[in-house]
Chain A
Amino acid sequence: MRYFLTTLTMVLALLVTTAQAEEIVAGLNQNQISITTDFDGSELFVYGAVKRTAPAPEGPLDVIVVVIGPSKPVIVRKKERRFGIWINDAGVQVDAAPSLYAVSTNRPFREVISFTQDQLYKVGLNHSVKLIGNTNDAAYPEDYLRAAIRLNEARGLYFEQPQGVTINQETLFQTRIRLPAQLVEGDYRVRVFLLRDRTVVDTLEQGIDVRKVGLERWIYTMAKENAAIYGLLSIALALAAGWLASTFFRLVFP
Protein backbone atom coordinates (compact mmCIF):
# COMPACT_ATOMS: atom_id res chain seq x y z
CA MET A 1 0.00 0.00 0.00
CA ARG A 2 2.70 2.39 1.01
CA TYR A 3 4.61 1.45 -2.15
CA PHE A 4 1.49 2.11 -4.23
CA LEU A 5 0.93 5.54 -2.68
CA THR A 6 4.50 6.58 -3.33
CA THR A 7 4.21 5.54 -6.95
CA LEU A 8 0.92 7.40 -7.31
CA THR A 9 2.39 10.59 -5.86
CA MET A 10 5.35 10.32 -8.19
CA VAL A 11 3.16 9.78 -11.22
CA LEU A 12 0.91 12.68 -10.25
CA ALA A 13 3.88 14.94 -9.63
CA LEU A 14 5.25 13.98 -13.03
CA LEU A 15 1.93 14.66 -14.70
CA VAL A 16 1.60 18.05 -13.03
CA THR A 17 5.10 19.09 -14.01
CA THR A 18 4.79 17.92 -17.62
CA ALA A 19 1.39 19.53 -17.98
CA GLN A 20 2.35 22.87 -16.54
CA ALA A 21 6.08 23.19 -16.83
CA GLU A 22 6.01 24.33 -20.46
CA GLU A 23 3.18 25.76 -22.49
CA ILE A 24 3.02 27.03 -26.02
CA VAL A 25 1.86 30.48 -27.03
CA ALA A 26 1.65 31.06 -30.77
CA GLY A 27 0.21 33.33 -33.40
CA LEU A 28 -0.21 33.48 -37.18
CA ASN A 29 0.32 36.44 -39.45
CA GLN A 30 -3.05 35.73 -41.06
CA ASN A 31 -6.18 33.80 -40.16
CA GLN A 32 -7.77 34.44 -43.48
CA ILE A 33 -6.31 34.08 -46.96
CA SER A 34 -8.17 35.71 -49.82
CA ILE A 35 -7.78 34.24 -53.27
CA THR A 36 -7.94 37.19 -55.61
CA THR A 37 -7.41 37.20 -59.37
CA ASP A 38 -3.71 37.98 -58.98
CA PHE A 39 -3.27 35.42 -56.17
CA ASP A 40 0.18 33.90 -56.47
CA GLY A 41 0.57 31.92 -53.28
CA SER A 42 0.88 33.28 -49.78
CA GLU A 43 3.43 33.18 -47.03
CA LEU A 44 2.30 31.92 -43.68
CA PHE A 45 4.34 33.17 -40.72
CA VAL A 46 3.90 31.20 -37.51
CA TYR A 47 5.61 32.58 -34.40
CA GLY A 48 5.41 31.89 -30.72
CA ALA A 49 7.02 31.42 -27.37
CA VAL A 50 7.34 28.77 -24.70
CA LYS A 51 5.78 29.84 -21.39
CA ARG A 52 7.48 28.37 -18.29
CA THR A 53 6.61 28.43 -14.60
CA ALA A 54 9.73 26.51 -13.61
CA PRO A 55 13.30 26.25 -14.92
CA ALA A 56 13.57 24.51 -18.28
CA PRO A 57 13.77 20.71 -17.97
CA GLU A 58 16.51 18.57 -19.50
CA GLY A 59 16.47 17.23 -23.05
CA PRO A 60 16.29 18.89 -26.47
CA LEU A 61 13.38 21.24 -27.19
CA ASP A 62 11.73 20.89 -30.58
CA VAL A 63 8.83 22.45 -32.45
CA ILE A 64 6.69 21.02 -35.25
CA VAL A 65 4.33 23.20 -37.28
CA VAL A 66 1.89 21.42 -39.59
CA VAL A 67 -0.48 23.06 -42.09
CA ILE A 68 -3.24 20.79 -43.39
CA GLY A 69 -5.73 21.70 -46.10
CA PRO A 70 -9.31 20.46 -46.48
CA SER A 71 -9.46 16.74 -47.10
CA LYS A 72 -11.45 14.88 -49.72
CA PRO A 73 -11.42 11.49 -51.43
CA VAL A 74 -9.40 11.15 -54.63
CA ILE A 75 -9.18 8.36 -57.16
CA VAL A 76 -5.71 7.25 -58.13
CA ARG A 77 -5.47 5.44 -61.44
CA LYS A 78 -2.63 3.42 -62.86
CA LYS A 79 -1.86 3.18 -66.55
CA GLU A 80 -1.51 -0.25 -68.09
CA ARG A 81 -0.43 -1.16 -71.58
CA ARG A 82 -3.34 -2.69 -73.43
CA PHE A 83 -3.52 -3.17 -77.20
CA GLY A 84 -0.23 -1.30 -77.43
CA ILE A 85 -1.43 1.90 -75.77
CA TRP A 86 -1.49 3.05 -72.16
CA ILE A 87 -4.94 2.97 -70.59
CA ASN A 88 -6.07 3.96 -67.07
CA ASP A 89 -7.29 1.10 -64.86
CA ALA A 90 -10.39 1.36 -62.65
CA GLY A 91 -8.26 2.98 -59.94
CA VAL A 92 -8.27 2.91 -56.16
CA GLN A 93 -10.04 5.43 -54.03
CA VAL A 94 -7.91 7.10 -51.41
CA ASP A 95 -10.57 8.03 -48.88
CA ALA A 96 -8.90 11.07 -47.42
CA ALA A 97 -6.22 13.20 -48.98
CA PRO A 98 -5.67 16.77 -47.83
CA SER A 99 -5.37 19.39 -50.55
CA LEU A 100 -2.21 20.63 -48.79
CA TYR A 101 0.15 19.19 -46.20
CA ALA A 102 3.17 21.18 -45.06
CA VAL A 103 5.31 20.25 -42.09
CA SER A 104 8.02 22.51 -40.74
CA THR A 105 10.44 21.38 -38.01
CA ASN A 106 13.71 22.60 -36.54
CA ARG A 107 15.38 19.21 -37.18
CA PRO A 108 14.37 16.28 -39.45
CA PHE A 109 10.89 15.04 -38.56
CA ARG A 110 11.97 11.58 -37.32
CA GLU A 111 14.53 13.09 -34.96
CA VAL A 112 12.05 15.35 -33.18
CA ILE A 113 9.14 12.97 -32.55
CA SER A 114 9.05 9.31 -31.57
CA PHE A 115 7.03 6.75 -33.50
CA THR A 116 4.54 6.18 -30.67
CA GLN A 117 4.01 9.90 -30.12
CA ASP A 118 3.43 10.34 -33.85
CA GLN A 119 0.83 7.56 -33.69
CA LEU A 120 -0.82 9.18 -30.68
CA TYR A 121 -1.04 12.74 -32.02
CA LYS A 122 -1.36 11.81 -35.73
CA VAL A 123 1.21 14.35 -36.85
CA GLY A 124 2.84 12.70 -39.89
CA LEU A 125 1.59 12.76 -43.45
CA ASN A 126 0.68 9.04 -43.30
CA HIS A 127 -2.07 9.93 -40.78
CA SER A 128 -3.65 12.44 -43.15
CA VAL A 129 -3.61 10.43 -46.39
CA LYS A 130 -5.71 7.37 -45.70
CA LEU A 131 -7.18 4.32 -47.34
CA ILE A 132 -10.22 3.04 -45.51
CA GLY A 133 -11.59 0.30 -47.74
CA ASN A 134 -10.05 -1.08 -50.90
CA THR A 135 -12.30 -0.41 -53.85
CA ASN A 136 -10.34 -2.44 -56.39
CA ASP A 137 -9.69 -6.12 -55.70
CA ALA A 138 -7.21 -6.43 -58.52
CA ALA A 139 -4.81 -3.80 -57.18
CA TYR A 140 -2.26 -3.40 -54.42
CA PRO A 141 -3.76 -0.36 -52.66
CA GLU A 142 -0.53 0.69 -50.94
CA ASP A 143 1.06 1.43 -54.32
CA TYR A 144 -1.78 3.80 -55.13
CA LEU A 145 -1.54 5.48 -51.74
CA ARG A 146 2.18 6.08 -52.21
CA ALA A 147 1.52 7.36 -55.74
CA ALA A 148 -1.05 9.85 -54.40
CA ILE A 149 1.57 11.23 -52.01
CA ARG A 150 4.27 11.28 -54.68
CA LEU A 151 2.03 13.10 -57.18
CA ASN A 152 1.03 15.73 -54.64
CA GLU A 153 4.66 16.20 -53.67
CA ALA A 154 5.54 16.71 -57.33
CA ARG A 155 2.83 19.37 -57.57
CA GLY A 156 4.29 21.14 -54.55
CA LEU A 157 1.21 20.51 -52.42
CA TYR A 158 2.86 18.17 -49.89
CA PHE A 159 6.21 19.29 -48.56
CA GLU A 160 8.56 19.18 -45.63
CA GLN A 161 10.83 21.90 -44.25
CA PRO A 162 13.28 19.97 -42.05
CA GLN A 163 15.11 23.16 -41.00
CA GLY A 164 12.08 25.41 -41.27
CA VAL A 165 11.66 26.30 -37.59
CA THR A 166 14.18 28.47 -35.80
CA ILE A 167 14.25 28.39 -32.00
CA ASN A 168 15.87 31.21 -30.02
CA GLN A 169 17.26 30.52 -26.56
CA GLU A 170 14.82 27.66 -26.00
CA THR A 171 12.00 30.21 -25.77
CA LEU A 172 11.06 31.92 -29.01
CA PHE A 173 10.34 30.08 -32.23
CA GLN A 174 9.20 31.02 -35.71
CA THR A 175 8.71 29.50 -39.14
CA ARG A 176 7.72 30.68 -42.60
CA ILE A 177 5.67 28.37 -44.80
CA ARG A 178 5.19 29.31 -48.42
CA LEU A 179 1.71 28.25 -49.51
CA PRO A 180 1.57 27.49 -53.25
CA ALA A 181 -0.51 29.36 -55.85
CA GLN A 182 -2.66 26.27 -56.49
CA LEU A 183 -4.42 26.74 -53.16
CA VAL A 184 -7.94 25.31 -52.95
CA GLU A 185 -10.74 26.95 -50.97
CA GLY A 186 -11.59 25.64 -47.54
CA ASP A 187 -10.73 25.48 -43.86
CA TYR A 188 -7.04 24.94 -43.23
CA ARG A 189 -5.63 23.89 -39.87
CA VAL A 190 -2.33 24.94 -38.38
CA ARG A 191 -1.14 22.58 -35.64
CA VAL A 192 1.83 23.53 -33.48
CA PHE A 193 3.56 20.90 -31.33
CA LEU A 194 6.07 21.58 -28.60
CA LEU A 195 8.30 18.58 -27.89
CA ARG A 196 10.83 17.77 -25.24
CA ASP A 197 12.97 14.67 -25.74
CA ARG A 198 10.81 13.44 -28.69
CA THR A 199 7.65 13.59 -26.57
CA VAL A 200 4.82 16.05 -27.10
CA VAL A 201 4.61 18.53 -24.21
CA ASP A 202 1.94 20.90 -25.50
CA THR A 203 -0.09 21.41 -28.65
CA LEU A 204 -2.01 24.27 -30.14
CA GLU A 205 -4.36 24.45 -33.11
CA GLN A 206 -5.58 27.38 -35.16
CA GLY A 207 -7.68 27.64 -38.29
CA ILE A 208 -7.09 29.56 -41.49
CA ASP A 209 -10.00 30.40 -43.70
CA VAL A 210 -9.01 30.29 -47.38
CA ARG A 211 -11.66 31.92 -49.56
CA LYS A 212 -12.00 33.19 -53.07
CA VAL A 213 -13.03 36.84 -52.99
CA GLY A 214 -14.26 39.49 -55.40
CA LEU A 215 -14.40 38.48 -59.04
CA GLU A 216 -13.11 34.97 -58.27
CA ARG A 217 -15.87 34.42 -55.70
CA TRP A 218 -18.53 35.81 -58.01
CA ILE A 219 -17.53 33.66 -60.99
CA TYR A 220 -17.12 30.51 -58.92
CA THR A 221 -20.50 30.87 -57.17
CA MET A 222 -22.27 31.73 -60.38
CA ALA A 223 -20.76 28.77 -62.27
CA LYS A 224 -21.99 26.39 -59.57
CA GLU A 225 -25.35 27.90 -58.68
CA ASN A 226 -26.60 29.56 -61.87
CA ALA A 227 -24.90 27.33 -64.41
CA ALA A 228 -27.26 28.17 -67.27
CA ILE A 229 -26.97 31.94 -66.85
CA TYR A 230 -23.22 31.58 -66.43
CA GLY A 231 -23.00 29.60 -69.68
CA LEU A 232 -25.08 32.17 -71.55
CA LEU A 233 -22.98 35.02 -70.18
CA SER A 234 -19.81 33.23 -71.28
CA ILE A 235 -21.20 32.96 -74.78
CA ALA A 236 -22.33 36.59 -74.79
CA LEU A 237 -18.85 37.63 -73.71
CA ALA A 238 -17.32 35.58 -76.49
CA LEU A 239 -19.66 37.10 -79.11
CA ALA A 240 -18.97 40.62 -77.85
CA ALA A 241 -15.22 40.04 -78.05
CA GLY A 242 -15.52 38.59 -81.54
CA TRP A 243 -17.62 41.51 -82.74
CA LEU A 244 -15.35 44.11 -81.15
CA ALA A 245 -12.26 42.62 -82.75
CA SER A 246 -13.95 42.37 -86.14
CA THR A 247 -15.24 45.98 -86.02
CA PHE A 248 -11.98 47.33 -84.67
CA PHE A 249 -9.95 45.74 -87.45
CA ARG A 250 -12.39 46.85 -90.13
CA LEU A 251 -12.18 50.48 -88.99
CA VAL A 252 -8.44 50.54 -88.40
CA PHE A 253 -7.33 48.47 -91.40
CA PRO A 254 -10.05 48.88 -94.02
Chain B
Amino acid sequence: MNIYLPIAEVSVNAFLLLGLGGCVGFLSGLFGVGGGFLMTPLLILIGIPPAVAVATEANQIVASSFSGVLAHWRRRSVDFKMGLVLLAGGLVGSGIGVQIFALLRELGQVELLVSLCYVVFLGVVGGLMFMESLTALMRSRAGSPPRRRRQHHSWVQGLPFRMRFRASKLYISAIPPLLVGMAVGVLAAIMGVGGGFIMVPAMIYLLGMATTVVVGTSLFQIMFVTGATTLMHAIYNNTVDAILAVLLLLGGVIGAQIGVRIGPKLKAEQLRILLAILVLVVCAKLGWDLVRTPEELYTLGGGSH
Protein backbone atom coordinates (compact mmCIF):
# COMPACT_ATOMS: atom_id res chain seq x y z
CA MET B 1 0.00 0.00 0.00
CA ASN B 2 1.63 3.21 -1.17
CA ILE B 3 1.13 6.46 0.64
CA TYR B 4 1.86 9.99 -0.57
CA LEU B 5 3.95 12.07 1.85
CA PRO B 6 2.81 15.72 1.80
CA ILE B 7 6.13 17.38 2.69
CA ALA B 8 8.60 14.94 1.14
CA GLU B 9 6.36 14.88 -2.00
CA VAL B 10 7.11 11.26 -2.77
CA SER B 11 4.99 8.14 -2.62
CA VAL B 12 6.36 5.35 -0.41
CA ASN B 13 5.12 1.94 0.71
CA ALA B 14 3.46 2.33 4.12
CA PHE B 15 4.39 -1.16 5.36
CA LEU B 16 8.04 -0.58 4.52
CA LEU B 17 8.00 2.49 6.76
CA LEU B 18 6.16 0.66 9.55
CA GLY B 19 8.68 -2.17 9.38
CA LEU B 20 11.66 0.15 9.39
CA GLY B 21 10.19 1.99 12.37
CA GLY B 22 9.66 -1.29 14.23
CA CYS B 23 13.18 -2.64 13.68
CA VAL B 24 14.89 0.60 14.57
CA GLY B 25 12.57 1.10 17.56
CA PHE B 26 13.50 -2.34 18.86
CA LEU B 27 17.21 -1.47 18.78
CA SER B 28 16.38 1.84 20.39
CA GLY B 29 14.74 0.18 23.38
CA LEU B 30 17.43 -2.47 23.59
CA PHE B 31 20.47 -0.23 23.55
CA GLY B 32 19.09 3.07 24.82
CA VAL B 33 20.03 4.82 21.62
CA GLY B 34 17.54 6.77 19.54
CA GLY B 35 18.14 4.60 16.51
CA GLY B 36 18.37 7.66 14.27
CA PHE B 37 21.86 6.74 13.13
CA LEU B 38 20.29 3.78 11.35
CA MET B 39 17.00 5.33 10.33
CA THR B 40 18.20 8.55 8.71
CA PRO B 41 20.53 6.83 6.18
CA LEU B 42 17.81 4.24 5.49
CA LEU B 43 15.23 6.94 4.79
CA ILE B 44 17.60 8.70 2.40
CA LEU B 45 18.26 5.35 0.75
CA ILE B 46 14.54 4.77 0.00
CA GLY B 47 14.24 8.18 -1.65
CA ILE B 48 13.20 10.63 1.08
CA PRO B 49 14.99 13.98 0.57
CA PRO B 50 17.84 14.24 3.15
CA ALA B 51 16.50 17.46 4.70
CA VAL B 52 13.09 15.86 5.31
CA ALA B 53 14.67 12.62 6.56
CA VAL B 54 16.77 14.43 9.18
CA ALA B 55 13.94 16.63 10.50
CA THR B 56 11.28 13.91 10.54
CA GLU B 57 13.59 11.41 12.15
CA ALA B 58 14.12 13.86 15.02
CA ASN B 59 10.35 13.88 15.48
CA GLN B 60 10.16 10.11 15.50
CA ILE B 61 12.90 9.88 18.13
CA VAL B 62 10.77 12.07 20.42
CA ALA B 63 8.16 9.30 20.41
CA SER B 64 10.46 6.32 20.85
CA SER B 65 12.54 7.98 23.55
CA PHE B 66 9.46 9.14 25.48
CA SER B 67 8.12 5.62 25.41
CA GLY B 68 11.51 4.39 26.65
CA VAL B 69 11.77 7.06 29.37
CA LEU B 70 8.39 6.07 30.79
CA ALA B 71 9.52 2.46 31.08
CA HIS B 72 12.80 3.48 32.75
CA TRP B 73 11.06 5.96 35.03
CA ARG B 74 8.93 3.19 36.51
CA ARG B 75 12.09 1.24 37.20
CA ARG B 76 13.63 4.41 38.74
CA SER B 77 16.58 4.27 36.38
CA VAL B 78 16.54 7.92 35.32
CA ASP B 79 18.84 10.53 36.91
CA PHE B 80 16.70 13.62 36.39
CA LYS B 81 19.27 16.04 37.81
CA MET B 82 21.95 14.80 35.44
CA GLY B 83 19.37 14.74 32.65
CA LEU B 84 18.54 18.41 33.17
CA VAL B 85 22.20 19.47 33.12
CA LEU B 86 22.74 17.49 29.89
CA LEU B 87 19.55 19.00 28.50
CA ALA B 88 20.66 22.59 29.17
CA GLY B 89 23.72 21.97 27.02
CA GLY B 90 21.66 20.04 24.49
CA LEU B 91 19.24 22.87 23.76
CA VAL B 92 22.08 25.30 23.03
CA GLY B 93 23.76 22.74 20.79
CA SER B 94 20.55 21.97 18.92
CA GLY B 95 20.05 25.66 18.14
CA ILE B 96 23.58 25.89 16.72
CA GLY B 97 23.11 22.68 14.75
CA VAL B 98 19.91 23.80 13.00
CA GLN B 99 21.63 27.00 11.86
CA ILE B 100 24.62 25.07 10.49
CA PHE B 101 22.20 22.71 8.75
CA ALA B 102 20.28 25.55 7.07
CA LEU B 103 23.54 27.15 5.89
CA LEU B 104 24.97 23.96 4.41
CA ARG B 105 21.66 23.13 2.78
CA GLU B 106 21.98 26.38 0.88
CA LEU B 107 25.52 25.45 -0.19
CA GLY B 108 24.44 22.00 -1.32
CA GLN B 109 26.76 20.22 1.09
CA VAL B 110 24.22 18.78 3.54
CA GLU B 111 24.64 15.19 2.39
CA LEU B 112 28.40 15.44 2.61
CA LEU B 113 28.27 16.94 6.09
CA VAL B 114 25.79 14.32 7.27
CA SER B 115 27.88 11.47 5.85
CA LEU B 116 31.16 12.84 7.20
CA CYS B 117 29.68 13.29 10.68
CA TYR B 118 28.39 9.74 10.59
CA VAL B 119 31.66 8.22 9.46
CA VAL B 120 33.77 10.10 12.00
CA PHE B 121 31.52 9.67 15.03
CA LEU B 122 30.32 6.18 14.32
CA GLY B 123 33.88 5.08 13.57
CA VAL B 124 35.39 6.48 16.75
CA VAL B 125 32.55 5.47 19.07
CA GLY B 126 32.04 2.06 17.50
CA GLY B 127 35.75 1.30 17.58
CA LEU B 128 36.21 2.33 21.20
CA MET B 129 33.12 0.51 22.33
CA PHE B 130 34.11 -2.63 20.46
CA MET B 131 37.59 -2.74 22.02
CA GLU B 132 36.24 -2.03 25.48
CA SER B 133 33.50 -4.61 25.45
CA LEU B 134 35.79 -7.20 23.88
CA THR B 135 38.27 -6.82 26.75
CA ALA B 136 35.43 -6.95 29.28
CA LEU B 137 33.99 -10.05 27.64
CA MET B 138 37.35 -11.81 27.63
CA ARG B 139 37.95 -10.92 31.24
CA SER B 140 34.58 -12.37 32.30
CA ARG B 141 35.30 -15.50 30.24
CA ALA B 142 38.62 -15.87 32.07
CA GLY B 143 36.66 -16.01 35.31
CA SER B 144 38.01 -12.96 37.12
CA PRO B 145 35.24 -10.83 38.66
CA PRO B 146 34.30 -7.76 36.57
CA ARG B 147 36.03 -4.72 37.95
CA ARG B 148 33.80 -1.79 38.97
CA ARG B 149 34.85 1.07 36.75
CA ARG B 150 35.81 4.27 38.49
CA GLN B 151 37.07 7.00 36.23
CA HIS B 152 39.50 9.46 37.78
CA HIS B 153 40.22 12.04 35.11
CA SER B 154 42.32 14.63 36.87
CA TRP B 155 41.03 17.47 34.64
CA VAL B 156 37.42 16.45 35.19
CA GLN B 157 37.96 16.36 38.95
CA GLY B 158 39.65 19.77 38.96
CA LEU B 159 36.81 21.71 37.32
CA PRO B 160 34.63 24.12 39.34
CA PHE B 161 30.83 24.06 39.87
CA ARG B 162 30.79 20.61 41.37
CA MET B 163 27.36 19.07 41.84
CA ARG B 164 26.14 15.91 43.52
CA PHE B 165 24.27 13.46 41.29
CA ARG B 166 22.88 10.87 43.70
CA ALA B 167 21.32 8.45 41.21
CA SER B 168 24.51 8.45 39.11
CA LYS B 169 26.70 8.05 42.23
CA LEU B 170 28.77 11.06 41.20
CA TYR B 171 30.10 14.28 42.65
CA ILE B 172 31.56 16.14 39.68
CA SER B 173 31.66 19.52 38.00
CA ALA B 174 28.63 20.48 35.89
CA ILE B 175 30.85 21.54 32.97
CA PRO B 176 31.61 18.12 31.40
CA PRO B 177 27.92 17.06 31.29
CA LEU B 178 27.00 20.46 29.83
CA LEU B 179 29.60 20.06 27.07
CA VAL B 180 28.57 16.47 26.37
CA GLY B 181 24.94 17.59 26.14
CA MET B 182 25.83 20.43 23.80
CA ALA B 183 27.86 18.23 21.44
CA VAL B 184 24.96 15.80 21.30
CA GLY B 185 22.54 18.66 20.57
CA VAL B 186 24.58 19.79 17.56
CA LEU B 187 24.69 16.23 16.25
CA ALA B 188 20.95 15.77 16.80
CA ALA B 189 20.19 18.70 14.52
CA ILE B 190 22.75 17.91 11.82
CA MET B 191 22.47 14.15 11.66
CA GLY B 192 18.82 13.59 12.59
CA VAL B 193 19.86 11.39 15.47
CA GLY B 194 19.20 11.47 19.19
CA GLY B 195 22.91 11.19 19.87
CA GLY B 196 22.60 8.25 22.23
CA PHE B 197 25.47 6.46 20.55
CA ILE B 198 27.72 9.36 21.57
CA MET B 199 26.11 10.10 24.91
CA VAL B 200 25.93 6.60 26.34
CA PRO B 201 29.68 5.97 25.97
CA ALA B 202 30.46 9.53 27.12
CA MET B 203 28.38 9.01 30.25
CA ILE B 204 30.05 5.73 31.06
CA TYR B 205 33.67 6.43 30.14
CA LEU B 206 33.97 10.21 30.44
CA LEU B 207 31.63 11.06 33.30
CA GLY B 208 31.83 7.66 34.98
CA MET B 209 28.10 7.41 35.70
CA ALA B 210 26.57 4.31 37.26
CA THR B 211 25.60 2.12 34.30
CA THR B 212 22.11 1.39 35.66
CA VAL B 213 20.92 4.96 35.05
CA VAL B 214 22.84 5.65 31.84
CA VAL B 215 20.21 4.45 29.36
CA GLY B 216 17.21 6.05 31.07
CA THR B 217 18.99 9.38 31.56
CA SER B 218 20.24 9.41 28.00
CA LEU B 219 16.71 8.80 26.68
CA PHE B 220 15.40 11.58 28.95
CA GLN B 221 17.81 14.11 27.47
CA ILE B 222 17.31 12.84 23.90
CA MET B 223 13.55 13.26 24.17
CA PHE B 224 13.81 16.97 24.90
CA VAL B 225 16.66 17.74 22.53
CA THR B 226 14.98 16.01 19.58
CA GLY B 227 11.74 17.79 20.51
CA ALA B 228 13.51 21.15 20.28
CA THR B 229 15.21 20.05 17.04
CA THR B 230 11.88 19.05 15.50
CA LEU B 231 10.39 22.41 16.36
CA MET B 232 13.34 24.35 14.94
CA HIS B 233 13.47 22.31 11.72
CA ALA B 234 9.71 22.83 11.34
CA ILE B 235 10.09 26.59 11.73
CA TYR B 236 13.34 27.28 9.85
CA ASN B 237 13.35 24.58 7.16
CA ASN B 238 9.68 23.41 6.83
CA THR B 239 10.96 19.87 6.54
CA VAL B 240 9.01 17.85 9.14
CA ASP B 241 6.67 15.40 7.40
CA ALA B 242 3.85 14.51 9.79
CA ILE B 243 2.60 11.48 7.85
CA LEU B 244 6.09 10.03 7.52
CA ALA B 245 6.61 10.62 11.24
CA VAL B 246 3.35 8.91 12.21
CA LEU B 247 4.18 5.79 10.20
CA LEU B 248 7.71 5.60 11.58
CA LEU B 249 6.69 6.17 15.16
CA LEU B 250 3.81 3.69 15.06
CA GLY B 251 6.34 1.00 14.29
CA GLY B 252 8.96 2.67 16.46
CA VAL B 253 7.12 2.87 19.77
CA ILE B 254 6.05 -0.76 19.58
CA GLY B 255 9.56 -1.89 18.69
CA ALA B 256 11.01 0.20 21.53
CA GLN B 257 8.73 -1.42 24.12
CA ILE B 258 9.79 -4.89 23.04
CA GLY B 259 13.44 -3.83 23.14
CA VAL B 260 13.15 -2.40 26.65
CA ARG B 261 11.73 -5.71 27.89
CA ILE B 262 14.37 -7.88 26.26
CA GLY B 263 17.30 -5.64 27.20
CA PRO B 264 17.66 -6.61 30.92
CA LYS B 265 17.66 -10.31 29.99
CA LEU B 266 20.88 -9.94 27.99
CA LYS B 267 24.38 -9.49 29.37
CA ALA B 268 25.65 -5.90 29.32
CA GLU B 269 28.93 -6.84 27.62
CA GLN B 270 27.19 -8.81 24.90
CA LEU B 271 24.74 -5.98 24.38
CA ARG B 272 27.53 -3.46 24.04
CA ILE B 273 29.55 -5.56 21.61
CA LEU B 274 26.44 -6.02 19.43
CA LEU B 275 25.83 -2.29 19.38
CA ALA B 276 29.50 -1.68 18.56
CA ILE B 277 29.35 -4.05 15.57
CA LEU B 278 26.16 -2.42 14.32
CA VAL B 279 27.70 1.04 14.59
CA LEU B 280 30.84 -0.08 12.75
CA VAL B 281 28.86 -1.67 9.91
CA VAL B 282 26.86 1.52 9.29
CA CYS B 283 30.09 3.52 9.48
CA ALA B 284 31.84 1.30 6.94
CA LYS B 285 28.92 1.53 4.51
CA LEU B 286 28.80 5.33 4.66
CA GLY B 287 32.57 5.65 4.45
CA TRP B 288 32.66 3.44 1.38
CA ASP B 289 30.00 5.62 -0.30
CA LEU B 290 32.16 8.72 0.22
CA VAL B 291 35.28 7.18 -1.26
CA ARG B 292 34.10 5.01 -4.15
CA THR B 293 33.51 6.56 -7.56
CA PRO B 294 29.78 7.30 -7.84
CA GLU B 295 27.84 5.97 -10.83
CA GLU B 296 26.15 9.32 -11.33
CA LEU B 297 28.34 12.35 -10.71
CA TYR B 298 25.51 14.86 -10.90
CA THR B 299 22.76 15.56 -8.38
CA LEU B 300 19.67 17.75 -8.50
CA GLY B 301 19.07 20.30 -5.79
CA GLY B 302 16.07 22.54 -5.39
CA GLY B 303 15.97 26.29 -4.99
CA SER B 304 18.20 28.91 -6.54
CA HIS B 305 21.54 30.51 -5.81
**Chain A, residue nearest B61 (CB):** A238
Q: Does B142 contact A (CB under 8 A)?
A: no
Q: Report B-chain residues with C-beta under 8 Å of the C-beta of A37.
A: 3-4, 243
Chain B contacts with A in 235-268, Cβ cutoff 8 A: 235, 238, 240, 242-243, 245-246, 249-250, 253-254, 256-257, 261
Q: Report B-chain residues with C-beta under 8 Å of the C-beta of A248.
A: 257
Q: Does A8 contact B (CB under 8 A)?
A: no
Among A152, A154, A243, A253, which residue has its beta carbon within 8 angstroms of that of B67?
A243
Among A76, A212, A242, which residue has its beta carbon within 8 angstroms of that of B298?
A76
Shortest beta-carbon distance, B205 to chain A, in Å?
Answer: 29
**Chain A, residue nearest B7 (CB):** A223
Among B245, B290, B298, B300, which residue has its beta carbon within 8 angstroms of that of A238?
B245
Chain A contacts with B in 196-243, Cβ cutoff 8 A: 212, 215-217, 219-220, 223-224, 227-228, 230-235, 237-239, 241-243
Q: Does B109 contact A (CB under 8 A)?
A: yes
Chain B contacts with A in 154-201, Cβ cutoff 8 A: none
Most chain A beta-carbon contacts within 10 A, residue among B1, B66, B232, B298: B298
Shortest beta-carbon distance, B102 to chain A, in Å?
Answer: 13
Q: Does B218 contact A (CB under 8 A)?
A: no
Q: Report B-chain residues with C-beta under 8 Å of the C-beta of A244.
A: 253
Q: Report B-chain residues with C-beta under 8 Å of the C-beta of A235.
A: 59, 62, 227, 230-231
Among A86, A147, A231, which residue has its beta carbon within 8 angstroms of that of B235?
A231
Given contacts A41-B11, A228-B231, A246-B71, contact A223 B59 (CB under 8 A): no
Chain B contacts with A in 272-305, Cβ cutoff 8 A: 290-291, 293-294, 296-305
Given contacts A93-B304, A216-B4, A231-B240, contact A241 B249 (CB under 8 A): yes
Give 15 new A-B contacts, CB below 8 A, not counting A152-B300, A234-B230, A242-B63.
A38-B2, A38-B3, A39-B11, A75-B300, A75-B301, A79-B294, A91-B108, A154-B296, A182-B10, A219-B6, A238-B62, A238-B66, A238-B227, A238-B245, A245-B256
Binding site for A on B (CB under 8 A): 1-4, 6-7, 9-11, 59-60, 62-68, 70-71, 74, 108-109, 111-112, 116, 227, 230-235, 238, 240, 242-243, 245-246, 249-250, 253-254, 256-257, 261, 290-291, 293-294, 296-305
Binding site for B on A (CB under 8 A): 35-41, 72-79, 81, 84-88, 90-91, 93, 135, 143-144, 147-148, 150-152, 154, 181-182, 184, 212, 215-217, 219-220, 223-224, 227-228, 230-235, 237-239, 241-250, 253
